[in-house]
A and B are shown apart, each in its own frame.
Chain A
Amino acid sequence: MLNVGQIEEGFVFDHIKAGTSLDIYYKLGLDKKDCTVALIMNAKSEKMGKKDILKVEIDINSLNLDVLGFIDHNITVNVVHNGDIIEKKPLELPKQIVNVIKCKNPRCITSIEQELPHIFVLTDPDREIYRCKYCEEKADHRF
């Protein structure tokens, strides 16, 4: 059993697909926040074989978790307060995501307009399809 020390306030993201936690670190914008982060990669998992874990010491109201729902809603989100897990937060598909992925359609206005946010909207929740708000190009990857 790997032990990286407890956090007092923040999140433990478990069951992350092995090898992808560094991307999640950036997608959550943790590189821009002043917080302690433990990144565990390729840990053994009964359920998944191998998995990543991300521990973040941060104010629990300061992180937007929508992006995780978009990337992989099977990630377990443990919310930690005063050293205890107070909630296992279910992840839902966000209705829209902003500046998480870029539109790859070369004909899209996002390819030339200055400082235009890349916005993808959930258009088909059953098939988990997101489309660019501007040109309706399908997001071809989740992660």
Chain B
Amino acid sequence: MRHLMSPLDMSVSELERLFNLANDIEKNMQDYSEVCKGKKLATCFYEPSTRTRLSFEAAMLNLGGSVIGFSEASSSSAAKGESVSDTIRVISCYADICAMRHPKEGAPMVAASRSLIPVINAGDGGHQHPTQTLTDLLTIRSLNGTLNNFTIGLCGDLKFGRTVHSLIRALLRYTGIKFIFISPEELKVPDYITQELDDRNIEYKEVIKLDDVMPDLDILYMTRVQKERFFNEEDYIRLKDFYILTKEKMELAKENMLVLHPLPRVNEISVEVDDDKRAAYFRQAQYGVYVRMALIMTLLGLAPDVLDKEA
């Protein structure tokens, strides 16, 4: 039985199949409306995450399946002190597949080790959020045309942002990718990541100002810079505007650059940028549903062979 704990759990060729399926769903949604008929997805969310939970639920409903679950620990047996291992054994009796969000890192892995049904990690603390990474990869592949040979700028909080770490590690498996890390000194990408890039001779640079590198980027991945991450207010006020994407900054960028963001956005992308054709973050949320549909089918062993279908 397959689970998904980390985006690296799937090989590059398995991801290719997954993304081909997601792209076919995008084109022929109606063909998939009954694939999971009679199947149930359990969304076990021990902490609130409306966006991710609704994306999973929409994915299962689009496939003709149904959904059960809870959306916070207080409404589950965890409030009574039940372990994750016990909960998943019981959920295994009720559902066919489970998406689990948990504030404790590694909780979905513990669940997977005891589960009789496939478990998808829907975010575990600051650790992994693999379906966000799959969403990011599918968006880049679909809108950029390829997952190879481009320059990606990752901007904002690169120290604590798990989506950024996960995306970098997933992109390391492709070729010809240059990384530009744009962040304040306090929020630089961790050493273990730059170490890995050095070990593999992968080109990267670290800069403080977004303006300086805008013309070089094929993809700009924005994240939020939270005020509480700074050591002092003075630095925050001095630096915050460097990381707000505005219409003026967009004028410096290539005509076909893509702007991605895992959402929710607060103020790091001006609303005026939304109308720019290069702003891809809402399309990214749509790809999140397609990739979760493809993932649910794949883990349930219900994925049709898309290549056969095209032939």
Contact = CB atoms under 8 A, between A and B. Distances in A.
A134 B111 CA distance: 11
Which one of B83, B84, B105, B109 has the greatest number of beta carbons of chain A within 10 Å?
B105
A133 B85 contact: no
B125 interface: yes
Which one of A110, A114, A134 has the greatest number of beta carbons of chain B within 10 Å?
A134
Given A133-B109, A134-B109, A134-B110, A111 B104 contact: yes
The A interface is mostly helix, strand or loop, or mixed, namely loop
A108 B102 CA distance: 10
Nearest to B127: A135
5 contacts: A107-B104, A133-B106, A134-B105, A135-B124, A135-B125
A107 B105 contact: yes
A112 interface: yes
Contacts of A109: 84, 102, 104-107, 109-110, 124
A116 to B, nearest CB: 6
A136 interface: yes
A132 interface: yes
A77 to B, nearest CB: 32
Given A135-B125, A135-B127, A136-B127, A108 B106 contact: yes
Contacts, number: 49
A97 to B, nearest CB: 16
Given A107-B125, A107-B126, A136-B127, A113 B105 contact: no
Contacts of A113: 83-85, 104, 107, 110
Contacts of A133: 106, 109
Contacts of A107: 103-105, 125-127
Interface of B: 83-85, 102-107, 109-110, 124-127, 192
Interface of A: 105, 107-114, 116, 132-138
Contacts of B192: 138
A66 B105 CA distance: 26
A111 B192 CA distance: 24
A104 B126 CA distance: 15
Given A107-B125, A107-B126, A132 B83 contact: no
A128 to B, nearest CB: 14
A105 B105 contact: yes
A109 B125 CA distance: 10
Contact of A108 (B83, B84, B85, B105): B105
Contacts of A116: 85, 110
A136 B193 CA distance: 13
Contacts of A136: 105, 127
Contacts of B104: 107-109, 111-113
Nearest to A112: B104
- Report the 7 A-B pairs with minimum CB-CB distance, sorted nearest first: A134-B106, A135-B105, A109-B106, A109-B104, A109-B107, A107-B125, A135-B106
A134 B85 CA distance: 14
Contacts of B106: 108-110, 132-135
Which one of B102, B105, B106, B125 has the greatest number of beta carbons of chain A within 10 Å?
B106
